[in-house]
Amino acid sequence: MGHEHGSAHGHSHTHGHSQTHGHGHPHSHSHDNPDSEPLPPALDPAVPTSELPPAAVDRRRFLRSAGLLGAGAAVLGVTASTGIGSAAASPLGGRGSGRVPRGGYTWLAGDHHIHTQFSSDGQYRVIDQVRHANAYGLDWVVITDHGSEVHARIGVEKVNPDIVAARRDTPDTLVFQGLEWNIPAAEHGTVFVHPGRNEVAVLKQFEVDYDGSPLATAALNEQRAIQGLHFLAGSVSRRRVQDALMLANHPARKGIDSPHEIRGWRDAEPRIAIGMEGAPGHQAAGMPKAYGPGGGRGYYDGSPGPGSFPGYPLESYRTFGGFDWMTSTVGGLWDSLLAEGKPWWISANSDSHSVYADTSVRGENTFATAGRYGEPTYRTAGPNLGSGDFWPGYYSRTHVGATDFSYAAVMDGLRAGRVWVDHGRLLESLDVRLRAGNREVPLGGMLTARRGSQVELVITVVPADTPNWSELLPRLAKIDVIRGAVTGPVGDRDVFTAPRTRVDQTFDVRGRTGEIRISYPLGRLDEAFYVRLRGSDGNRLAPGLLGAAVDPAGPAQDVVGDADPWQDLWFYTNPMWAIPA
């Protein structure tokens, strides 16, 4: 069960070796594999800082201050053969080493849900998306064009050279190839693989055999979705690809991901199906009509249809503080999964198709014949205020605690749940530990300790200290600690409440700047429980859907046609469990 962060990786961090995860897999990724990328400029000591583009300067500062360049660089697998370990470790530009919480992980921001001209509703080149993602500070992205008959036949192959070129052109942003899976009998999902010789072949076969779009209606059943996950797992175990992951996208948008389907994916292949979008993309879609699309935030503006799970309440079709109902409801669906004591993680992505106020238009319609649209052209009609998306990294970020800057490490970090997400760059950095005695685990970890041990939550957070991409400086107002009992496997697989989960404590941090350290005692470890964090700028608060006793000041339901995303910012972390031994 244990994560084998062994000495072979040369990790110097002192924590985490006691953590266990429910996935039951050995780490088989070697960091010196042939697919390792060349050294990104930000990490390359031969490139002077004055020669770096602004995003890379930020990244180098970040890595230095985190102790990940210089003396600490041994943890960076990719640097092992390049001699960077002898580089100077002094922080740059007055950014002290206290700025970024230590702990052996470098937090790589990314986005696993991005469309290009290879989607029937897309527009941009791969390089357009990747360069914007890079400029807005993302370290990794996944290109996820829609599964379709045309994409399976043409696009999935034809997009690959563009992705390979983007890897070369933006070496400090990792670019995965994936696709947006039409999950048989369910919503969309992200599927992506580790780069390598067979990345296209595996994705193509997966799409042909398991995507809901090319498939005949009769094959659109829940079992087919499970078989697709088995196919991905088999592709990894047979070493056709080094790794593969699946996450459910906009899970509550149309009510068609039932609780038992989500549990089914998780339990069928826990190494592959690891989570869901906690916050969907399309976060600009709720901008008022006067200067925006005037739709539902996230394009969550539907109501129950024939494919919907009949048990879901109408609220589930809307977002709350920009987050999906499954995640935003304290004691709701996500908590009901976590209360089983099994991992299921959340992310936050752009779902970028067409960007709010962008000045380009889709190119010539050659989709059916060429598998993609032509090159986008300049929009002479002025900025497009009817689009509801942001560029990757502009608003939504998924931060992954990685052991090095590599494809494998991003996938490992995602699978381990060392993940927190934010909107509008609400936080500069975040480090969370669950501690008992001399043992501790990071986000996503399971801490096992002697029954009766005192358990403590240790939070180190730096609220935003630079403006975000909307040029406003977000102000973190509060941090909520959400705690739930682990009640074990559910009898009814369609359960979507966790009656023993609630907001346990709220820390008011208004006006605080710089690094905030919070040690919060969680008491004696008598029964298994989990904790997760959430925080807000405090602009829009409302009692939770399960009552003020469960969540006195949670996210408010977003108003269709009147949801300015910059005025309602949240961060969420993944959970950590404490298990009495």
Partner 1 sequence: MSAPALVVGVDVLSETLREVDEVADHVRRLLEHAPGTAVVATHLSRCGPVPHLTVSVALPGADPEAVWRGGVAAVRQRWPRAAVCCGPRSTGPSSTSGGGSVLAAAQGVAAHVGRTSGRLVQFPGSLGLTGTVPLARVVAQTAVDRVEVLGAPCPDDVLLRTREHVRPTWRGGELVLVVEHAAGGVLVPFESPTPTPCCADH
166: enclosing H helix or E strand:
helix 156-169
Q: How far apart are CA 128 and CA 463, in angstroms?
A: 30
306 vs 511, beta carbon nearer partner 1? 306
User: Taking the complex as a whole, how short is the minimal distance between the CB of residue 305 and partner 1, in angstroms?
Assistant: 6
193 vs 355, beta carbon nearer partner 1? 355
Sign of dihedral through CA atoms 118, 174, 131, 399? positive
User: Taking the complex as a whole, how short is the minimal distance between the CB of residue 303 and partner 1, in angstroms?
Assistant: 4
Best CA proximity match to 277, nearest among 246, 248, 237: 248
359 contact partners, CB below 8 Å, separation of at least 6: 378, 379, 382, 383, 384
User: Taking the complex as a whole, how short is the minimal distance between the CB of residue 185 and partner 1, in angstroms?
Assistant: 10
Structure tokens at 26: 């050995």
Q: Report residue 308 CA to chain centroid gap.
A: 25
301 vs 568, beta carbon nearer partner 1? 301
Q: How far apart are CA 268 and CA 262, in angstroms?
A: 10
User: Please, is 97 exposed, middle or buried when counting C-beta atoms within 10 Å of its C-beta (0-12, 13-18, 19+)?
Assistant: middle
Q: Residues 297, 303, 308, CA angle at the centre, nearest 5°?
A: 115
User: Taking the complex as a whole, how short is the minimal distance between the CB of residue 119 and partner 1, in angstroms?
Assistant: 8
Structure tokens at 128: 């357009």
User: Taking the complex as a whole, how short is the minimal distance between the CB of residue 456 and partner 1, in angstroms?
Assistant: 37
218 vs 381, beta carbon nearer partner 1? 218
DSSP state letter for 312: S
User: Taking the complex as a whole, how short is the minimal distance between the CB of residue 295 and partner 1, in angstroms?
Assistant: 6
User: Taking the complex as a whole, how short is the minimal distance between the CB of residue 573 and partner 1, in angstroms?
Assistant: 26
Residues interacting with partner 1, by CB under 8 A? 119-121, 146, 188, 217-218, 220, 254, 282, 285, 288-289, 293-296, 299, 301-307, 310, 314-315, 317-318, 353-354, 387-388, 542, 556-557, 559-562
Torsion angle, alpha carbons of 283, 261, 345, 523, to 10: 120
155 vs 343, beta carbon nearer partner 1? 155
Q: What is the DSSP string of 355-418?
A: BTTB-EE-----HHHHSS----EE-TT--BTT--B--TTTSEEEEEEESSSSHHHHHHHHHHT-
In the block, which residue shows the tokens 């901008």? 287
484 vs 555, beta carbon nearer partner 1? 555
188 vs 418, beta carbon nearer partner 1? 188
> What residues does 454 pair with on adjacent strands?
524
User: Taking the complex as a whole, how short is the minimal distance between the CB of residue 70 and partner 1, in angstroms?
Assistant: 46
Q: How far apart are CA 351 and CA 323, in angstroms?
A: 14
User: Taking the complex as a whole, how short is the minimal distance between the CB of residue 477 and partner 1, in angstroms?
Assistant: 19
134 vs 354, beta carbon nearer partner 1? 354
147 vs 417, beta carbon nearer partner 1? 147
> What residues does 42 pair with on adjacent strands?
none
34 vs 310, beta carbon nearer partner 1? 310
Q: How far apart are CA 404 and CA 413, in angstroms?
A: 10
User: Taking the complex as a whole, how short is the minimal distance between the CB of residue 275 and partner 1, in angstroms?
Assistant: 21
Best CA proximity match to 16, nearest among 432, 452, 527, 460: 432
User: Taking the complex as a whole, how short is the minimal distance between the CB of residue 163 and partner 1, in angstroms?
Assistant: 21
303 vs 454, beta carbon nearer partner 1? 303
User: What is the bridge-based pairing of β-strands 140-146 and 106-114?
Assistant: parallel
Q: How far apart are CA 3 and CA 243, in angstroms?
A: 16
310 vs 491, beta carbon nearer partner 1? 310
Q: How far apart are CA 498 and CA 188, in angstroms?
A: 25
Q: How far apart are CA 289 and CA 39, in angstroms?
A: 46
65 vs 119, beta carbon nearer partner 1? 119
User: Taking the complex as a whole, how short is the minimal distance between the CB of residue 540 and partner 1, in angstroms?
Assistant: 10
> What residues does 430 pair with on adjacent strands?
461
Categorise residue 499: left if φ over 0, alpha if ψ from -120 to 50, beta otherwise: alpha
Could you give the count of Cα atoms lying within 13 Å of 549 in the half-sphere of its Cβ? 2
User: Taking the complex as a whole, how short is the minimal distance between the CB of residue 202 and partner 1, in angstroms?
Assistant: 23
User: Taking the complex as a whole, how short is the minimal distance between the CB of residue 274 and partner 1, in angstroms?
Assistant: 23
284 vs 346, beta carbon nearer partner 1? 284
Structure tokens at 200: 């296209």
Considering only CA atoms, give the Rg of the chain: 22
Q: How far apart are CA 289 and CA 505, in angstroms?
A: 38
